Amino acid sequence: MRGDLDFLSIMRWHFPVFICTFFLALFAMAATQFMLLQQYPPAQEDLAEYLMGASGGVSLYLCLANLIVVRGRPWGVWPIVVAMLACILTVLLHWGERRVPGSLSVIGLLLPLLALLMLNSKRHREFRKVMVEVRWKRAAWRKKHKQ
């Protein structure tokens, strides 16, 4: 176990890559959502409800998935990967549709690929390892002070 596991040193080095990955995933899911609403437009009076509901659901899903990563669970990255693969698949299935602009399709494909690239980066993998070590340290501290 490493002795340099204080919060500020972890955040100073790993927070930029973590937040960049989070926002790339969030924008990728928003672009996919917008593309789907372009392809299958709801009634005009229901559009606001669909936008707010889908945006809230996407935000909640990604926040919970990233919270799992921050809490030090090694499997926590997989919900994010599944969401990015779903975005890629959705964009590829609707590639070249008339209602969807080509630039939106390119952006909708580029953002999840960049998010996956950031998830696989050395710093993000190191961040996940450090978070697991912090979780072990927390558990050892609780066990020691519980007795």
DSSP 46: G
DSSP 72: T
Contact (CB, 8 A) for 115 and 80 = yes
Mean pLDDT of 56-70: 94
Residue reference for tokens 């040193």: 9
pLDDT of residue 101: 82
Residue burial 59-96, b: 16+ Cβ < 10 Å; e: rest? eebbeebbebbeebeeebbebbbebbeebbebbeebee
Of 37 and 119, more confident: 119
d(CA 14, CA 72): 14
d(CA 73, CA 26): 21
pLDDT band at 3 (very low <50, low <70, confident <90, very high): low
Burial class (CB in 10 A: 0-12, 13-18, 19+), 16: exposed
Mean pLDDT of 22-28: 96
Residue reference for tokens 């990604």: 62
Express each pLDDT in 64-75 by its tens digit.
999 999 998 989
pLDDT at 110 over 90: yes
Mean pLDDT over each residue of the chain, to the nearest integer: 89
Residue reference for tokens 């630039």: 103
d(CA 91, CA 35): 8
pLDDT of residue 1: 47
Express each pLDDT in 83-99 by its tens digit.
999 999 999 998 887 77
pLDDT of residue 96: 80
